[in-house]
Amino acid sequence: MFETKFEWSDLYLFLAVARGGGLAAGAISSGLSAPTLGRHMVKLERAIGEVLFDRLPRGYDLTDAGIELFGEAEIVEEQMLHIQRRRQIRNAHIPIYITAGTWMTRFISMHVQDISTNGVRLVFGASEQRHSIARREATIGLRNTRPNEQALAARKTTRVAFAPYATPNAEKLDDWIATTAQTPSASWVRSHKISQIKFEVTSPRSLLDLARQDAGHVVLPCFVGDAEPTLIRSGPIIDALSHDQWLVVHGEDRNQPSVRRTVDLIAKLIVSNRRVFGGIE
């Protein structure tokens, strides 16, 4: 019966026409134009080698061959729906890996109830080293530059500002605290305050701990420093460090319901706090 190969999409369109009783109704359910749908039906008939419809002024009636194919196509449709349901169930249990720098991970963790949904497991990866979303090392990434890989989709959220901070007791000191982490703010401190560095830490998180102990000045994102009650700004916003924040996801993953929902929630959280990120007091 089947002399030429055809795809599930051909059967899907056939079912749309058969159930609608013609091209007009089939076009509405399939999203294709009636002429395009008509060409698909002719192509399918040629592939099968039998006439599937009687073309009548009032619409399309199934022939005996069409009735036979209709029953077979419904079986295939049920199998395809079963496969889709199983994939949706599996995807719902796949953890979503969210990677970001130390401070963005800290911020998101402090607002985790705003981005979590039932049935979705979130895994947070705080690192100054960028994970490759293109190679699926992470599901969602928060980046300070727009990615240039074609496989990735990106959404700009807000502008992030940086400034120096210290306790009131340490504000008049010339001591600075640096981190060996490879970050733009660490590079700025080494370029501008190299002779005044008194302490070094390997983790950016330790900058905050030392600053709280009157150890000296640190450069922090404003959304971190301004939220710390023991610190004050010890200088103006450093324009050279300000950057846009991007939410990045693989193009093939962004339409998965759990991933899309998580991306939307993170974006909403960040945008609603844009004044905090921008250092607008």
Type of residue numbered 279? G
Checking 213-216 for CB contacts under 8 A at 24+ apart, the result is 214/167, 214/169, 214/170, 215/170, 215/175, 215/177, 216/166, 216/170, 216/173, 216/175, 216/176, 216/177
> According to the model, what pLDDT value does residue 35 have?
92
Give yes or no: residues 29 and 63 share one domain: yes
Same domain, 258 and 122: yes
Mean pLDDT in residue range 139-147:
92
Dihedral sign, Cα of residue 117, residue 121, residue 126, residue 128 = negative
The pLDDT assigned to 5 comes to 67
Predicted local distance difference test score (pLDDT) of residue 9: 85
Q: Is the pLDDT of residue 192 over 90?
A: yes
Among the listed residues 144, 131, 137, 136, the one whose alpha carbon sits nearest the alpha carbon of residue 103: 144
pLDDT of residue 253: 83
Instruction: Indicate whether 2 belongs to any domain.
Output: no
Do 228 and 167 lie in a common domain?
yes
Q: Same domain, yes or no, for 155 and 227? A: no
Residue 210, domain member (yes or no):
yes
What pLDDT sits at residue 251? Answer: 84
Q: Which domain-ending residue is among 77, 93, 109?
A: 93
> Which pLDDT does position 88 carry in this prediction?
56
Contact 271, 264 (CB under 8 A): no
- Count up the domains in the chain and report the number: 3
Angle at 122 between CA 156 and CA 247, to 5 degrees: 10
pLDDT band at 193 (very low <50, low <70, confident <90, very high): very high
Residues 147 and 248 in one domain: yes
- Examine the fold and report which residue of 71, 93, 115 is the final residue of a domain before the chain moves on: 93
Q: What is the mean pLDDT of residues 136-143?
A: 90
Provide the pLDDT for residue 141.
Answer: 94
> pLDDT tens for residues 233-263?
999 999 999 999 999 998 888 888 889 999 9
The domain of 124 spans: 96-159+243-276
CA dist 237 and 9 (Å) reads 57
Check residues 4 and 218 and name the one with the higher pLDDT. 218
Asked which of 26-40, 186-200, 209-223 is least confident by mean pLDDT, the reply is 26-40
Using one digit for the tens of pLDDT, what is the confidence trace for 31-45?
889 999 999 999 999
1 is a domain residue: no
User: At which residue do the structure tokens 């990120």 appear?
Assistant: 277
Residues 59 and 107 in one domain: no
Predicted pLDDT of residue 2 = 42
Q: What is the mean pLDDT of residues 139-153?
A: 89
Encode pLDDT of 85-132 as tens digits: 666 555 556 789 999 999 999 999 999 999 998 878 899 998 888 888
**pLDDT confidence tier of residue 80, bands split at 50, 70 and 90:** confident
Give percent of the chain above pLDDT 70. Answer: 94
Q: Tell me the longest C-alpha to C-alpha distance in the chain.
A: 92
In this predicted structure, the answer to whether residue 4 has a pLDDT above a threshold of 90 is: no
CA–CA dist 104, 226 (Å, integer): 14
DSSP 8-state symbol, 22 = S
Q: Around 194, how many Cα atoms within 13 Å sit in the side-chain half-sphere?
A: 4
Residue 3 falls within a domain, yes or no?
Answer: no
Whole-Å CA distances, 45 to 52, 80, 132, 152: 6, 22, 47, 40
Higher pLDDT, 175 or 32: 175
pLDDT at residue number 85? 63
Q: Are 214 and 170 in contact (CB under 8 A)?
A: yes
Q: Indicate the pairing of strand 176-179 with strand 197-201.
A: parallel
Q: Does the residue 281 lie in any domain?
A: no
Report the mean per-residue pLDDT for the chain.
90
Question: Which of these, 158, 273, 277, lies nearest to 226 by C-alpha position?
Answer: 277
Give the rounded distance of the alpha carbon of 197 from its chain centre. 38
CB 246 within 8 A of CB 155: yes
Is the pLDDT reported for residue 3 higher than 70? no
Q: Are residues 80 and 26 in the same domain?
A: yes
